[in-house]
Structure 1
Amino acid sequence: MSIATTTHLNFRGTARAALEHYQSVFGGDLAVVTYEQAGALTDGAEPEQIMWGQVASPEGFRVMAYDVPAERPWEPGVAPFFVSVRGATFEEVEAYWTRLAEGATVLVPFAASAWSPGYGMLVDPFGVTWVLDVAVAYEG
């Protein structure tokens, strides 16, 4: 078992440009999934915005980013990041989720999603937003 934490940056409409910039600085592979590709489009004006994106380099640099959808509040500099925890199995990540969820505000319950056998989002009692998921190979 092993887990990894990654800084998950939040933008509105500029996630792709930010990830491309970080890739130009640190190198590595860029992977992005739009809201349209994920079947999660809630605003017709946002099909090409990034629902999930990542730059990962062989040297160990890793950053994730997404475009906060229009239906969620967002203000630059306010809640500019999440902490992303990824694990290899549902059981492993679910155990972390259960402990982290104590006293937290659950935004998305931990359950299967279109992209992972286990995904959830919560805000802990200290105001930090956590995204936990089971890592799977990217098929896009």
Structure 2
Amino acid sequence: MTLTTTTHLNFPGDARAALDFYQSAFGGTTAITTYGDVGMPADAPDADKVVFGRVATVDGFRLLAYDVPGQSGGAVGEAGSTRRENGMTITDQPFFVAVDGETLDEVAVCWEALSDGASIVEPLAASAWSAGFGMLTDRFGVTWILSVAAPAAS
């Protein structure tokens, strides 16, 4: 049996903008289905909101997102906070999204894109366990951990 996991992010009205932003950071393609596309009357308040959104790349990156019905206003103000304090990560968020790349150059490209409008928790730099590790909370309130994967043991 082969299992995979895909992060599914829930947004209060800005899923489309978030998906476009993530596609610009990671590449690949974006697919968006609105509530109207699946039968909600066109004049309903959430008809243009995302019921199913996906960013997918040929190398296996997958991200899903949707707009929680009846919510609007963006996620940043409601997302909580993450910060470094006395060598520890302090947060009230229930999860982070972790992305590993094979090289520092590959990770740095994604880092640069995600950092636009972000709050940097830990700058991307070499660490004791990785050739590159960094943490940021993006403009949508999602905290990302980007790192260079350790070489596989042989």
TM-score with structure 1 length normalisation?
0.48
Higher relative contact order, chain-length normalized (CA < 8 Å, sep 6+): 1
TM-score with structure 2 length normalisation?
0.44
Q: Which has the larger radius of gyration?
A: 2
